[in-house]
Structure 1
């Protein structure tokens, strides 16, 4: 019996900023095209429709879910698996996008485009989480960025666990001009916070958010293919 090809379902956090939600849709569309026109649907944990929970509750087609999230946290460990359990058809859940070297590559390119120079001390600023697993993931992401950038990278978080940007930037300034790499997928509240903090501290070089970069779509495709192959072989 030929098993149906799983569709791709992405799930982003969701934001009140429409342009932030558009990033998830663009990433999903790129990934679908690279997968030969595979049907895809972009969903959100909150603040935007369609909700992941609602899509799963009515899902009647095998699916691979790729969280468009940059680290492990409460959503990844609890909310998403709970919602996926309500699906009427088999669902495979991929790991979140980060940490991954492709994301580090995008951040490096964004830093260079913003005017950073190789060797500049980098502070990678993330939204933050109260989940210790997220703290570990952010440390790994910072190490990946440092390896690609060729200089140490310090990690700061706007909220949750971790050190705040004002303290991390103060320490980094002893080693040269500080530049900021936002570890954020989409524009919205946290990007605005990062840029406000940077302006207040006199940091003039701030990379762009990761966004709907082609390498992010490549990563989604990798996540999908790894689990879709398992589903078809089951």
Structure 2
């Protein structure tokens, strides 16, 4: 028994041994991200225990003194999008197992940008595999594969995600597809890509873990290739267990229990930096850097980018002379003379080194992968009517964006 509200992870379930192992490994990552919280894992189908059983098991770990207006148990769906399982099946399991106790039920993982970051990491790995030639994103088309649902919102979210990934990675074209239920199917999307001129295609499964959907995807791609000689296709890996996605899940839990600090604002001193003419170091040149650098340039900063490789947008800024791109790995001396640092590589160990050196030199540093380990946060900002609106949230960047947008609406009245 602890003083912390227990958590039930409501996963889909699979008969695939590797997929089941990945699901259990993810649950362990969530436990590591929430020390002291009792975490149960339950399944909607195909594996045991079911969600109702997991809820029942978690009841034994409810704290004795929970205020009457707060949840005694939190259940979170281990699902990327909304759909029948999220809207109907899991709530029915909760009702069957809760035995009158107060249960707080959270939402799916997307559209948290950290999930998209992991997806893009898997895609970039497939573009430049260790055992084969690298493909340039701007010579490649993306077919992003979703599960497919009877819920329009989930399918629309997949279209939105495809646009984000296509532009952030820099693909020549990006085509949404679905493995089941709705169209376009994977073969249809592959054909669309070829009709648009593609000769090499990266198929990206937006699936959490391995299982029958990933198997079906390989079978569908292989069958399509038999009738399309001369077209090269690669399939990236599933998201898989990921500490970053586990942090998203942990933040979902904190939102439900109102963890101290979460409702009291971010533990920061909100200020503005005058960076005109001052050196700013950006380590990494992927989609996070691409989003942040334009703002730094607008502030007049002298931006130096340190990264072995760069996305199209950062490379273009370097060609235009707007940023100083050092095409190599990070060294501690890169922090010298910097007034502000952004650690935005796709390697957490590199980001940790950058943050540690910035700390040693007393330079404020934002960590894009784990904000709590940096010394500064990047606010959600926008300008309207001569006013810059900046919102800093503690754990929920999506909420910061929503609050910013509502403030902007108020300014425009």
TM-score (structure 1 length as normaliser): 0.89
Q: How many Å apart are 1:69 and its aligned residue?
A: 0.8
Q: How many Å apart are 1:144 and its aligned residue?
A: 3.1
User: Which is worse superposed, 118-127 or 73-82?
Assistant: 118-127
Cα distance between partner residues in 2 of 1:38 and 1:144: 34
Is the counterpart of residue 72 in structure 1 residue 92 in structure 2?
Answer: no
Q: Secondary structure at the match of 2:183?
A: coil
Is the counterpart of residue 128 in structure 1 residue 127 in structure 2?
Answer: no
Alignment of 1:1-234 (within 5 A): 4-57=3-56, 59-60=58-59, 61=62, 62-86=72-96, 87-88=98-99, 89-115=101-127, 116-119=135-138, 120-151=140-171, 152-173=173-194, 174-176=196-198, 177-202=200-225, 203-229=232-258
User: Which is worse superposed, 221-230 or 65-74?
Assistant: 221-230
Cα distance between partner residues in 2 of 1:121 and 1:37: 45
Q: How many Å apart are 1:55 and its aligned residue?
A: 2.4
User: Which is worse superposed, 100-109 or 177-186?
Assistant: 100-109
Cα distance between partner residues in 2 of 1:58 and 1:223: 21
Name 2:314's counterpart in structure 1.
none
**Do the aligned partners of residues 92 and 170 (structure 1) sit closer, same or farther apart at CA in structure 2, a change above 3 Å counting?**
same
Cα distance between partner residues in 2 of 1:142 and 1:6: 36
Q: How many Å apart are 1:78 and its aligned residue?
A: 0.7
Q: How many Å apart are 1:230 and its aligned residue?
A: 6.5
* 1:79-105 deviation digits (Å, cap 9, x = unpaired): 111222331322111111123322221
Kept in 1, the 8 Å contact 2:146–2:177? The answer is yes
Cα distance between partner residues in 1 of 2:35 and 2:26: 15
Kept in 2, the 8 Å contact 1:5–1:228? The answer is no
Kept in 1, the 8 Å contact 2:4–2:36? The answer is no
Q: Secondary structure at the match of 2:235?
A: coil
Higher RCO (CA < 8 A, seq sep 6+)? 1
Provide structure 2 residue ranges, at least 5 long, that are not aligned to the other structure: 63-71, 128-134, 226-231, 264-413
Cα distance between partner residues in 1 of 2:58 and 2:36: 20
Q: Secondary structure at the match of 2:25?
A: helix
Provide structure 1 residue ranges, at least 5 long, that are not aligned to the other structure: none
**Do the aligned partners of residues 224 and 148 (structure 1) sit closer, same or farther apart at CA in structure 2, a change above 3 Å counting?**
farther
Cα distance between partner residues in 2 of 1:90 and 1:27: 26
Q: Secondary structure at the match of 1:43?
A: strand
Cα distance between partner residues in 1 of 2:146 and 2:176: 8
Cα distance between partner residues in 2 of 1:110 and 1:132: 26
Structure with higher helix content: 1
Kept in 2, the 8 Å contact 1:15–1:188? The answer is yes
**Do the aligned partners of residues 210 and 5 (structure 1) sit closer, same or farther apart at CA in structure 2, a change above 3 Å counting?**
same
**Do the aligned partners of residues 101 and 39 (structure 1) sit closer, same or farther apart at CA in structure 2, a change above 3 Å counting?**
same
Q: How many Å apart are 1:77 and its aligned residue?
A: 0.6
Cα distance between partner residues in 1 of 2:90 and 2:247: 22
TM-score (structure 2 length as normaliser): 0.52
